[in-house]
A and B are shown apart, each in its own frame.
Chain A
Amino acid sequence: GPKVLQIPSHQIIDMGQMVTLNCDPVSNHLYFYWYKQILGQQMEFLVNFYNGKVMEKSKLFKDQFSVERPDGSYFTLKIQPTALEDSAVYFCASSRTGGAETLYFGSGTRLTVL
């Protein structure tokens, strides 16, 4: 089936540094999402993105977070600067036409902030 690729699978970074998480969505998909999952806890919505714009974001999407998809390349989540509480697994998802369509998730990027 369709695949969403996330790069890297693991990232270790010192607190205060910048990190960029990369997502290669399904090729004809137009809606993109980021979710955060702290170990053993539920998955929580961060942001969704369509047509070059953030459509909705949660309270977890702090000012230090940003997303973009320049020129149809990777859909990225940037955190600058990182904080200890940003340690989690971040899942990217994409869908073809929005809310009623299936979301396809990547396998996640495990981010550890030291």
Chain B
Amino acid sequence: GDSVTQTEGPVTLSEGTSLTVNCSYETKQYPTLFWYVQYPGEGPQLLFKVPKANEKGSNRGFEATYNKEATSFHLQKASVQESDSAVYYCALGDPGGYKVVFGSGTRLLVSP
């Protein structure tokens, strides 16, 4: 079945340093790929999504490229801020159906 594997957290960084959260997926479909972010006390919310292979998504300084050959969708940010502290979920969705598969989430802690 479909699966998503991402960097195990927590990831602890200082403000101003760069971030990479790895995400790999397995599926027989041609999925849409997502990054969601969950702040404390809230439900997850969409960070961005990419429906097509070899395209890049971005939002709030975060970006990821849909790499179909490597089946990866790594999240990157050049310079993190304390306000980026949250849990980040990689997910894949089946365009022809209803399935959405989430990774286990990566907790990011950014210290000032």
Q: Is A56 an interface residue (CB 8 A)?
A: yes
Complex: how many Å from CA A91 to CA B96? 24
Task: Report whether B105 and A107 are in contact in the complex, using a CB–CB cutoff of 8 Å.
Answer: no
Q: Is B99 an interface residue (CB 8 A)?
A: yes
Task: Report whether A98 and B43 are in contact in the complex, using a CB–CB cutoff of 8 Å.
Answer: no
| B interface, size bucket | 20 to 34
Task: Report whether B104 and A99 are in contact in the complex, using a CB–CB cutoff of 8 Å.
Answer: no
Q: Considering only CB atoms, which chain B residue lies closest to A31 in the complex?
A: B98
What number of A-B contacts does a CB cutoff of 8 Å give?
63
Contact of B100 among A33, A50, A91, A106 (CB under 8 A): A33
Q: Which residues of A contact B41 (CB under 8 A)?
A: 107
Complex: how many Å from CA A99 to CA B27? 13
Complex: how many Å from CA A99 to CA B89? 16
Q: How many residues of A contact B (CB 8 A)?
A: 23
Task: Report whether B89 and A43 are in contact in the complex, using a CB–CB cutoff of 8 Å.
Answer: yes
Q: Which residues of A contact B102 (CB under 8 A)?
A: 42-43, 45
Task: Report whether A106 and B43 are in contact in the complex, using a CB–CB cutoff of 8 Å.
Answer: yes
Q: Which residues of A contact B44 (CB under 8 A)?
A: 43, 91, 103, 105
**Contact string, A6-37, partner B, CB cutoff 8 A, digits 1/0?**
00000000000000000000000001010000
Task: Report whether A91 and B95 are in contact in the complex, using a CB–CB cutoff of 8 Å.
Answer: no
Indicate whether A107 sits within 8 Å of B99 (C-beta atoms), given known contacts A43-B89, A102-B49: no
Q: Considering only CB atoms, which chain B residue lies closest to A93 in the complex?
A: B43
Task: Report whether A99 and B93 are in contact in the complex, using a CB–CB cutoff of 8 Å.
Answer: yes
Complex: how many Å from CA A63 to CA B110? 41
Interface residues of A in 43-87 (CB under 8 A from B): 43, 45, 48, 50, 55-56
Interface pairs (17), CB distance under 8 Å: A31-B98, A33-B100, A43-B89, A48-B98, A93-B43, A98-B95, A98-B98, A99-B93, A99-B95, A99-B97, A99-B98, A100-B51, A103-B44, A105-B45, A106-B43, A107-B41, A108-B42
**Using a CB–CB distance below 8 Å, which chain B residues touch chain A?**
31-32, 34, 36, 38, 41-46, 49, 51, 89, 93-102, 104-105
